[in-house]
Structure 1
Amino acid sequence: MSISIRQAQPQDAHAVVPLIIDAIGDIANRLTGEQTPEAVEQALIVLFKREDNRHSYLNTFVAVEHEQVLGILVYYNGEQAIDMDVNLVKWLEAKNAPSIVIDKEAHEDEYYIDTVCVAPEARGKGIGTLLLQFAEEQTKKYNFKKLSLNVETQKEDARRLYERMGFVITEPWSIIDEPFHHMVKQI
């Protein structure tokens, strides 16, 4: 298996967006202001191709083998998230979407793993671990000392995986009124 990780490109949208939806579920409806699966996917494709929001290709890395996208990492720093979320709210308002408040997901001094997802046919091959290790390496390059993520409190298997990789629960967190553990790895 020869997996490489590269910066996503706008033309990766049709491979990346279904993985984002798989990872974030109903949150995608809120972030796009859409309700039908087709409309959610189309709106996320628009956001992915833009450069000013969380789910932009600029914040996305893809694990590929033979040019096939097998996994994704959406990753950015907590300080950037503030402006990106303002841009998202403006975009939603411009399309007359329901009023939305974007929950803060990271502290400003952290690099944040927003989304990690591996294609169903590629799961169990270590691609998720490779993407997490890549995020750690990038965080070092950017001279940040903290790498964070949020995991739903009921996802105990995921929490244990993150703990094995050196993440520790630092505080409770709430995203769209759902309970999460905020986990941080010191770099």
Structure 2
Amino acid sequence: MTFYIRKAILEDAPKTAPLIYEAIGDIANRLTGENETSQVISTLEALFRRTDNRHSYLYTYVAESEVTKGILGILVLYDGQVGAELDASLQRWLEQKNAPITSIDMEAYPDEFYVDTICVHENARGLGIGTALLEFAEKVAQLEGYSKIALNVETQKVKAQKLYERLGYVVTEPWTIINEPFFHMVKLIK
């Protein structure tokens, strides 16, 4: 299958929101202030179209089929400093919305380029798309002048952790997001 990676556009919202939801699970409930799956996805679409939060189209890339033009996978990334600013904005929005949970856990250090979300559509898994997205993330990080790239992986996602380790990521410390255990993984890049 041939594909290319491009910057997301506003029209990608309906195809990217379900993949974001699939990748981050319960974290999506916290970031949207919603509990019903349809409402979570709808709110993720709305956040995708905005410019002031971590899941904005501004920070999203998509892997797209050259043949069908369908989205095969997504990648959300930004630097840790921007992440803190985006989360502060999202936290204010959640407070205005009277969401049940308004605090946002820090997910990266300011000196890291951060892979927030990566997900490959279930029909396209095993084709190297996830690896290509992570390699693309490294190139973006390098262009932005970063010497390390980071991500968090749920401790029970052993297969994903093995992929990240194969690509050169190393577990640097345990991490907690919405009271769930993660591993913070970092890769030094040139």
TM-score bucket (shorter structure): over 0.9
Query: 2:149 maps to which residue?
Result: 147
Q: Secondary structure at the match of 1:130?
A: helix
Aligned: 1:132 with 2:130: no
Q: Percent of pairs identical after alignment?
A: 56
Query: 1:44 maps to which residue?
Result: 44
Count of equivalent residues: 187
Question: Which stretches in structure 1 are left out of the alignment for 5+ residues?
Answer: none
Q: Which portions of structure 1, spanning 4 or more consecutive aligned residues, are displaced by more than 6 angstroms?
A: none
1:9-158, aligned counterparts within 5 Å? 9-65=9-65, 66-158=68-160
Q: Distance in 1 between matches of 2:42 and 2:166?
A: 36
Q: Secondary structure at the match of 1:83?
A: helix
TM-score using structure 1 length: 0.97
How much does 1:2 deviate?
2.0
Residue of structure 1 aligned with 2:169, choices 167, 170, 182:
167
> Aligned Cα RMSD in Å?
0.9
Q: Distance in 1 between matches of 2:110 and 2:14?
A: 31
Q: Distance in 1 between matches of 2:73 and 2:99?
A: 30
Q: Distance in 1 between matches of 2:101 and 2:140?
A: 34
Query: 2:7 maps to which residue?
Result: 7
Q: Distance in 1 between matches of 2:79 and 2:159?
A: 25
